[in-house]
Amino acid sequence: MAAPKRIALVTGAGSGIGRQISLALLGEGYGVVLAGRRQDALDDTVKLAGEAGANALTVSADVADASSVKNLFAKAVERFGRLDLLFNNAGIFAPPVSLEELSVEQWKSAVDINLTGVFLCTQEAFRVMKAQSPRGGRIINNGSISAHAPRPFSASYTATKHAVTGLTKATSLDGRQYDIACGQIDIGNASTDMTTLMKKGTLQADGSTKVEPTMDAGHVAKAIIYMDSLPLDANVQFMTVMATKMPYIGRG
């Protein structure tokens, strides 16, 4: 295959949205570094890419661990020589329990992965993008509808996603002088292997349980590719891609 012209790094690439984005980027000719905690899941993603998988590098990494993140980015640069796009996607949900029943350990785990992980990866991306030639690159954070409106029993996830929005803004501002653009995509009810439980019904703010509409995750992949197609002097600061009829507008 031809050498890739653009290099991307995707966290949480072994399943869900991360897998869909990785496959889409590989299909577009990107070189893609796939990061995640489970090596077998990363390998499965590459297999799904077919011949395009030749432009993939898998790295088992824990985004909540600073040394693991440093190793991840070092391997990315060693293989591809630069980084054009970081998609901060890795995230976890805490158990759906009332706020007072959420343990400190569960809270900290969500903060470590959903927020600190984004920070650590952004730090390393800054170091690479500032030093490379041509300078700069793009960072896209996976925000979520929960960066705007919570679901019941989601204190840690909602808090971290609101914080990601703040980090997106700070990153966008601090990256300007280095030609680093940062935007955020807020995704609502994309259909993946991780949303299959929604087909059984999702708890609503009024206490009822309803089956919510979903959308093809491929639409999210197209949105990411569009965001990254722009020159670095243009940026999609925030984009919401959601199932049209899901309960977001008017939620609660």
Active site residues per annotation = 157
- Taking the CA atoms of residue 105, residue 109, residue 112 and residue 114 in that order, the dihedral angle to the nearest 10 degrees is -140
- The phi and psi torsions of 108 (rounded to 5 degrees) equal -65, -35
- The phi and psi torsions of 184 (rounded to 5 degrees) equal -135, 140
Q: Which string of DSSP letters, residue by residue, matches the chain?
A: -PPPSSEEEEESTTSHHHHHHHHHHHHTT-EEEEEES-HHHHHHHHHHTGGGGGGEEEEE--TT-HHHHHHHHHHHHHHHS--SEEEE-------S--GGGS-HHHHHHHHIIIIIHHHHHHHHHHHHHHHSSS--EEEEEE--GGGTSPPTT-HHHHHHHHHHHHHHHHHHHHHGGGTEEEEEEEEESEESGGGGGGGG-EE-TTS-EEPPP-EETHHHHHHHHHHHHS-TT----EEEEE-TTSS-TT--
